Structure 1
Amino acid sequence: MLHHKRIGVLFYFFFLVLNVSAQEKSKVVALKNILIEIEKQHIVSFNYTDDNVDGIQLTPPNKSLSLDQKLRYLEKKTTLSFENINNKFINIYSKKHLESKIICGYIYSKTDNQPLENVNINFVDASRIITNSNGYFEFKNNIKNYFWISHVGFITQKISIVNIDSKNYLKIVLEPEVTELPEIKTNAILASGISKNANGSFEIKPKKFGILPGLIEPDALQTMQQIPGINSIDESVASINVRGGTHDQNLFLWNGIRMYQTGHFFGLISVFNPNLANTISIYKNGSSAFYGESVSSVVAISSNNDAIEKDNFSAGINMINADIYAKHNLSKNSYIEVSGRKSITDFLETPTYKEYFNKVFQNATITDFSQNQNIDYQSNKKFSFYDATIKYFQKIGLKDQIIVDLITIKDNLNVIQSATINNSIDSEKDVLRQTNFGGNLFWKRNWNNFNTTKINTYYSSYELLADKTITDGNQIVTQQNTIQDNGINIENNHILSSKFTFNNGYQYNEIGAINLDQVNSPNFYRKIKDVLRTHALILEGKYNDTLSKIYLNIGMRYNYIEKFNKFIVEPRLQFNYGLNKNLNLEVLGEFKSQNCQQIIDLQKDYFGIEKRRWILSNNSTVPIQKSKQLSVSLFYKKNNWLLNIENFYKKVDGITSSSQGFQNQLEFLKITGNYVVFGTEILIQKKINHFLTWLSYTYNDNNYQFQNYEYPIFPNNFEMDHNLSWAGIYEKNNFKIALGAKWSSGRPITSPRSTEVNASNPEIVYNSPNNTNLNPFFQINLSSTYKWETIKGIQFKIGVSIVNILNKKNEINEFYRISPLTNSIQEVETYSLQRTPNLSFRVQF
């Protein structure tokens, strides 16, 4: 019996030892799990890298121990060191680092002492590392003397390595940077999707665009005419006048490519697809020094989007054209984007199309003073247009991106006109073609968070070809105008601090122009070809302090024209200061020059058909145009009220009379001079919940100065003394409606002194140039859109607009001619659009 008891005791102790041994072994767990338990018990946070703790297993410390006792226990059992920061954060690092040349540390936010992930650490050799989820970083200390630490929303720090001991871990705290947006930027102007930047430019976001009277699509060139100081004297987007300048004095850029044709249907429709643009920037004054070759405004249209968004497709149709748009991601770093638009006039004549034709090719009422009869011109017209774009976007690694853009535009017109006067038939056939093709290759590299380089090479080609056949081939007139423009732009951006930015660059441009005139009877042939090459060096410094609300950008552009061995210096200024939280002062100024302009040579009356041709300066009879402009404005915003008052002065030297569209005694003269404009622009706006209303007024005093002419000073052809516009806009959810009115004083015209002419020497004797004005212009417009979406995410949008609701007959031009049949004076009048409806439908998914 005793023997059996002894055996039982031995078995008991044997299994007890096994059990204890098993329990001891089961207590050996991964260090990561121990750290998690300590975090929960003591409400702390461990910061470490995975490679320091991976693979370490040990018996957990007793839960009854204090935090410091547990840390000492872990240090004893491992090769790690534990740094306790205020019993809240505990940094873990390897003791091996104490003897190595590795510099490491943790980066925290000052606001909440939390570690910061993905903080950029940049070195002088352009290399870069980022912190992990615990805010930890490390690097070998070899030849690096200092490094920068930057993170979105925090002030950048520069750290010197010279005095850093590699045996100690760094603890770096980043201070948040206040990024208040200027008050003027956050406010919608005229409509949602339109804002004004601190640099004085207006910015339009078509994808966020609301609605404006008469518009159902975010047409860039139609929209910009709502901005005070910008209008079109003949309702054409191919004749936009900014503070009294001619259309060719504006620089139109599409993704960095200069566009020489801006309108379809001879200006009634923009060539830029309104459903494609991502951002439209408009500068009336104070443009960046990187913009050259214009003495008036800059309109920069960009369809670039760095984000790789989801695939997108949309298609739409209105009463003039149909279009499609598609974007497809080729990979997570690349996409292709295509768009196309074509007139529907080949198979359908809508009421809108008919009104546009009546406007452009209206059978002008030509009154014969001597016989008091009307001449009725019969015409047969065929017209079509299209435009298309393609974009390829590719990200290469983390620093580079490449974009390829192509755009093509084409308009075709065939017009046959005939008239019977005194049993004599006079017929005329016109064939007109306009094309504009452009392409560019854009490369951007972010060397680091502080230095960026952009290189853009571009090519633009424009051709105007016109053939006129008069009376069954008795006379054939051919006119051709060709422009080829190519160049390279290099831009470097340097962030010196959170407030200072320095930009520099170089631009090379080669532009060639060909003008051909040929007549078979009498025999005449003329072909002129010119080429100009220009180099430009650009320097620009920007100071932007959002706390003190000071924005200052000073730029300088140095142009060198090879052919003339001529240097032109162009300073630029943008200044914006917040006098208080409601009131901003803005000062803009610039000197600019332009070598290419449009003229009307061998003037012929095409009844509204395009007749302007691009030519290059020869530095003598066709001078280099130079402008200088200064504007001062106050911008006030409070309680959803907005008031902007701007006074400006503008002078443009080197203009030629043939570039101003004279149709009086200066029509065939070739003289040079300048124009000077003084003006005031006022905008008052109020927003009440979903309702927005605004009233704008523009006054300008615009005069020519031709010193060698018998009338040295007289009103500018594009002077409109007073312009007044009003709009009321209501937007709620997906419904939008806008009603607006425009009133302006009539444009200047020149009247003849007498309605009679000398039969032996038929010539019109005029009064002084622009001695009188047309009657005022008045128009009321309406537009509305509605958008809805299906449960499958397909969006539909329908829009309707009516231009000139009252069907008012507004005269927009008047000039005089000698009738070739009767040798009498004819008065030619042209009018604005009559009541013109439009309807659009769009689908997107």
Structure 2
Amino acid sequence: MLLPKQFHFLFLLFFLVLNAFAQDKGKLMPFKKIILEIEQQHQVSFNYTENNIAGLELVPPKKSLSLVEKLEYLAQKTHLSFENIDNKFINIYKKENQEPLICGYVFSNTDKKPIENANINLSNKTQVSTDANGYFEFKKEDKNTFLISHIGFLTKKITAGNTDSKDCLQLFLEPEIMQLQEIKANAILASGISKNKDGSFEIKPKKFGILPGLIEPDALQTMQQIPGVNSIDESVSSINVRGGTHDQNLFLWNGIRMFQTGHFFGLISAFNPNLAHTISIYKNGSSAFYGESVSSVVAISSTPETAEKNSFSAGLNMINADVYGKYNISPKGYIEISARKSITDFVETPTYKEYFNKVFQNTTITDFSDKQNVDYHSDKKFGFYDATLKYAQKIGLKDQIVLDLITIKDNLEVFQSAKVYDINSSENNILRQQNYGGNLSWKRNWNSFNTTKINIYNSAYELRANQSTSEGQIVIQENTVNNNGINLENNHILNSKFTINDGYQFNEIGVTNLEQVTNPDFYRKVKDVLRTHALIAEVKYNDTISRIYFKAGSRINYIEKFKKYIIEPRVQFSYGISKSLNAELLGELKSQNSQQIIDLQKDYFGIEKRRWIISNNSTIPIQKSRQLSLNLSYIKNDWLFDIENFYKKVIGITTSSQGFQNQLEFVKTTGDYEVWGTEMLIQKKMNHFLTWLSYTYNHNNYHFSNYEYPIFPNNFEVMHTASWAGIYEKNNFKIALGTKWTSGRPKTSPDNTQIDPSNPTLIYRKPNSDNLHIFSQVNFSSTYKWETANGIQYKLGISILNILNRRNEISEYYRVSSLTNSIEEVETFSLQRTPNVSFRVSY
């Protein structure tokens, strides 16, 4: 007789065996339930149509079988075929007498995840959707062309060819960033100019429309139309961004730092306007990968974003001629060259004469002719050129190398002679300014999520003046800069919203200053070298659905010579409050080890009197800046309203870097400047007509604590600036008219009540306590382009600066005249009415 415990055990064992036998031998289960259990056990996904499995039941396979064995079992027991894709996706379709099918998977190209509910639009107007695995299928037809679309992605057109159901397509859609672009103007100020989510302005010269006074997309002239960017003396070599000096801006050409930015000593940009593909301008909130500046960043890239065809163009205006050519040497490589040269060797145009008069007024060259001499003779030669070379080559599918070379040079020779009281006097002046640069970059796409880029660069700058007189005196002045380094940048895409950038930078800068005089003899040569290392990290979050863009980063600088660490955080935040209204917050801390100073106003003949020096961490401090700005932008119905409030402070400036021509000209001290203000832009587009009005308020003060007047207005303060433009573009005809109005910059006047007329000595009032007269100018430009039947394009342009020929004073200082033994006022004026005509051929 069995005991109760034994009975219970045998009963349980009998039940389990019976249950197993029934499962393996007799009990039928719905096919859909079977594949659901297989999905859970083996972590796979089945793709099928309901019609193929409807009403199907069979005995399930043993759970102990492998996935492959189970699929073989199911194939034997049913009329279906099973396609196993990477043990992740399994397609089920009919094995016999089935209709031809097209099947595929749709993924996001950013994070490679499946896209659910993507619409597949067939040529016969029917539509299917993808499932949770991104899978779709439809009946094959003679014409297998269809469209794939999904919100947030670019629509893609597919031609399937002879593809059958056993070879499913794998399709990737590119994200479409639309939400933030809707609240940004398609064009700001002119076509080809836009504003990015990171707060930067972007100029596309090849898409550039027209601006008043400009017939070519000159990068440095164009950026002066942006609110907050100005030049107090009309020079592209004296661009002031929110009250900063020109040398506080970082100018990069294909990753090469440029120390010379202008031709004709500042009246023309040194960068060929017909070459660049993208110009990015950051007033604030620049990337942590940009160092060595306490003001703005201007990054010029001539590398195209997409492959381009062979092209050639040549142009001529009343100052220079240029050529440009691009040739594809292979399917994966091309070479690009450009060259530009002044035509002043052959002809002196009205434009050249106005430029010459503007540049050389109140310099030692004009001083020589202003000494009431008789029988004065002058022989002058002036010329400039620039040239670039780019070689780009893709290696395999993942690598690309790019070589960039640039050379810029200005050369001036002036011989002057005069006879006074039977005494011959002469001077021979030679001034040369040049900048060479080279950059070799290698970029590798390790995969769809990780990219590495390495740049090795060098930039060499030289400013040299040589003056010899009939009295036997020779004066030589030289300022040279040699800058080289290496940049490493890694880009990691974590998902469709998050990106991380990290890198390392090494930079070495050497500056040499030479002064040599004979009769009397004097010689001084000073060379300084500074090496810095920087570690950089950035994280970017971009959610196009919630309209949030956030980018934060920091660079840690280490200066070898001073054994000093400097941390520079940066932040960019943008939020789309609605489809029409966007808020933007930008902030940054930056530093700079090099700057330009003026030892004497007559150095280098008073034409290019600034020389580069580097910090010694004591009398020449490291300049540091902090800046914060808040922007609101509203765009609707082709209206744009943009307002930005900002605060900026730069410490560590020297009086020598500010160009004083008053009682501080020979004072050596350090301090800071603090500027705050508002920038506004109102713009309206009506069909082919675009008009805008901008206004900038700028309150800018110096702080020199060791000086008797510790606080006074900045030399570069232009408290009020207003600009207006009306632009009409239709087909190939463009015309622009505009005006610019600014309040006068500060000046320092003598205190006449304390000056003895019999023995005049300059005694000044408080620095910058007065202002120059208002600056006002009206400019005009127009271009017309046409194309012949054989594809050759012609472009004709005309511009007139200062149409009303207004005499605008841009600087004023005082000196004691040795001829009259009195104090005289010296004024400098802007360009008079200056016409220009250009003609260009492209094919």
- TM-score greater than 0.5 by the shorter chain: yes
Q: Report the equivalent of 1:748.
A: 746
Residue 198 of structure 1 corresponds to 197
Q: Which residue of 2 aligns with 1:83?
A: 93
Deviations 1:551-598 (A, max 9, x none): 000010100000000000000010110111111001100000000000
Query: Which residue in 2 is equivalent to 1:319?
Result: 318
**1:9 aligns to what?**
none
Task: Please report how far the alpha carbon of residue 815 of structure 1 lies from its aligned counterpart in structure 2 after TM superposition.
Answer: 0.9
Aligned partner of 1:602: which letter?
A: L
Specify the SS of the correspondent of 1:195: strand
Q: Does the CA-based 8 Å contact 2:363-2:606 persist in structure 1?
A: no
Q: Provide the rounded CA distance (Å) in 1 between the counterparts of 2:424 and 2:677.
A: 50
Instruction: Return closer, same or farther for 1:322/1:299 CA change in 2, 3 Å cut-off.
Output: same
From 678, 681, 685, the equivalent of 1:680 is: 678
- Among residues 788, 794, 811, which one is paired with 1:790 in the alignment? 788
Which runs of structure 2 are paired with 1:205-354 in the superposition (5 Å)? 205-354=204-353
Distance 1:109 1:324, change over 3 A: farther
Name the counterpart of 2:722.
724
Structure 1 CA distance, aligned partners of 2:460 and 2:725? 39
Give 1:791's aligned amino acid.
A
User: Shift in Å at residue 763 of structure 1?
Assistant: 3.3
Shift of 1:753: 1.3
- With over 3 angstroms needed to count, the CA separation of the structure-2 counterparts of 1:404 and 1:92, relative to structure 1, is closer
TM-fit CA distance, 1:604? 1.6
TM-aligned CA deviation for residue 185 of structure 1? 4.2
Deviations 1:280-330 (CA, angstroms, capped at 9, x unpaired): 000000000000000000000000125332110000000000000000000
Sort the Cα spacing of 1:756 and 1:348 in 2 relative to 1 into closer, same or farther, 3 A. farther
Equivalent residue, structure 2, for 1:833 = 831
Q: Secondary structure at the match of 1:360?
A: helix
State the shift of 1:362 in Å: 2.8
Q: 1:535 aligns with which of 533, 536, 558?
A: 533
Aligned to 1:738: 736
Secondary structure of 1:603's counterpart equals coil
Q: State the match for 2:457 in structure 1.
A: 458
Q: Distance in 1 between matches of 2:247 and 2:270?
A: 15
- For 1:223 and 1:686, how far apart are their aligned partners in 2? 19
Which amino acid is 1:254 matched to?
W
Residue among 546, 549, 564 paired with 1:548: 546
Aligned to 1:161: none
Q: Secondary structure at the match of 1:448?
A: coil
Alignment partner of 1:449 is 2:448: yes
Amino acid at match of 2:802: N
Which residue identity is paired with 1:355?
E
Task: Measure, in 1, the Cα distance between the counterparts of 2:675 and 2:99.
Answer: 68
Q: Using the TM superposition, give the Cα deviation of residue 476 of structure 1 relative to its aligned residue in structure 2, in angstroms.
A: 1.7
**How many corresponding residue pairs?**
718
Unpaired segments of 5 or more residues in structure 2?
Answer: 1-48, 53-74, 83-89, 105-111, 123-134, 140-149, 155-165
Q: Partners of 1:515 and 1:833 in 2: how far apart?
A: 32
What is the letter of the counterpart of residue 406 of structure 2? I
Distance in 1 separating the partners of 2:236 and 2:629 = 25
The residue number in structure 2 matching 1:635 is 633
What is the distance in 2 between the residues matched to 1:497 and 1:284?
A: 29
Per the alignment, residue 147 of structure 2 pairs with none
* Shift in alpha-carbon separation, 1:436–1:366, aligned structure 2, 3 A: closer
The CA deviation at 1:695 is: 0.3
Contact 1:318–1:839 (8 Å) recurs in 2: yes
Q: Counterparts in 2 of 1:477-626, with a 5 A limit?
A: 477-604=475-602, 609-626=607-624
The answer (yes or no) to whether the contact 1:346–1:384 under 8 Å persists in 2 is yes
C-alpha displacement at 1:752, in angstroms?
Answer: 1.1
Whole-angstrom distance in 1 between the partners of 2:423 and 2:696: 49
Going from structure 1 to structure 2, the CA distance change for 1:592 and 1:375 (only over 3 Å counts) comes to farther
Which structure 2 residues correspond to residues 108-123 of structure 1 after superposition, within 5 A? 110-112=117-119
1:370-381 → structure 2 map (5 Å cutoff): 379-381=378-380
Offset at 1:112? 2.8
Contact 2:431–2:604 (CA under 8 A) maintained in structure 1? no
CA contact (8 A) 2:284 2:587 kept: yes
Residue in 1 that maps onto 2:467: 468
- Please, what TM-score do these two structures have when normalized by structure 1? 0.80
Q: Any idea what SS the aligned residue of 2:247 has?
A: helix
Contact kept, 8 Å, 2:183 with 2:579, in 1: the verdict is no
How far off is 1:114 after superposition?
A: 8.0
> Which residue number corresponds to residue 430 of structure 1?
429
Report Cα offsets for 1:398-417 as digits up to 9, x if no partner. 11100000000000001234
State the one-letter code of the partner of 1:817: R
Measure, in 2, the Cα distance between the counterparts of 1:513 and 1:312.
40
Matched residue of 1:827: which SS?
Answer: strand
Report the 3-state secondary structure (helix = DSSP H, G, I; strand = E; otherwise coil) of the residue aligned with 2:119. Answer: coil
Rounded to whole Å, the distance in 1 between the matches of 2:437 and 2:172 is 47
Q: Which residue identity lines up with residue 767 of structure 1 in the other structure?
A: R
Distance across 1 between alignment mates of 2:295 and 2:315: 34
* TM-align CA RMSD: 3.5
Deviations 1:54-98 (A, max 9, x none): xxxxxxxxxxxxxx9xx95999xxxx996159x9884799xxxxx
230-239 or 747-756, which deviates more: 747-756
- Which residue of 2 is the match for residue 119 of structure 1? none
Q: 1:514 to 1:414 in 2, by over 3 A?
A: same
Mapped contact 2:217–2:274 kept (Cα < 8 A):
yes
Given that residues 414 and 432 in structure 1 are in contact (C-alpha distance below 8 angstroms), is that contact kept between their aligned partners in structure 2? yes
Superposed CA deviations along residues 193-230 of structure 1, whole A, max 9, x for unmatched, are 00000100000000000000000000000000000000
Instruction: Name the aligned partner's letter for residue 688 of structure 2.
Output: H
- 1:668 Cα offset (Å): 1.0
Match of 1:24 in 2: none
Structure 1 position 366, deviation (Å): 13
Partner of 2:387: 388
Q: Would you say the 8 A contact 1:82–1:90 is kept in 2?
A: no
In the other structure, the counterpart of 1:440 is 439
CA distance in structure 1 between the aligned counterparts of 2:686 and 2:725, rounded to whole angstroms: 14
Aligned residue in 2 for 1:126: none
Which amino acid letter does the alignment assign opposite residue 829 of structure 2?
Answer: Y
Q: CA offsets per residue over residues 121-165 of structure 1, 9 Å max, x none?
A: xxxxxxxxxx99999xxxxxxxxxxxxxxx99769xxxxxxxxxx
CA–CA distance in structure 2, aligned partners of residues 491 and 367 of structure 1: 50
User: Partners in 2 of 1:556 and 1:462 — Cα distance?
Assistant: 29
Name the CA shift for 1:374/1:829 in 2 (closer, same or farther; >3 Å): farther
| Counterpart secondary structure, 2:767 | coil
Native 8 Å contact 1:199 1:575 kept in 2: yes
CA distance in 2, matches of 1:764, 1:423: 34
Residues 783 and 608 (structure 1 numbering): CA distance in 2 closer, same or farther, change over 3 Å?
farther
| Residue 780, structure 1, aligned to residue 778, structure 2 | yes
Partner Cα separation in structure 1 for residue 733 and residue 666 of structure 2: 53
Aligned position for 1:59: none
Q: Deviations over 1:450-492 (max 9, x none)?
A: 100010110000000001224x143221100000000000000
Counterpart contact for 2:596–2:657, Cα < 8 Å: yes
Contact 1:362 1:607 in 2 (8 A): no
Instruction: Specify the code of the residue in structure 2 equivalent to 1:586.
Output: E
In 1, Cα distance between equivalents of 2:547 and 2:115: 28
| Cα distance in structure 2, aligned partners of 1:560 and 1:621 | 20
Distance 1:824 1:474 in 2: 30
CA contact (8 A) 1:84 1:91 kept: no
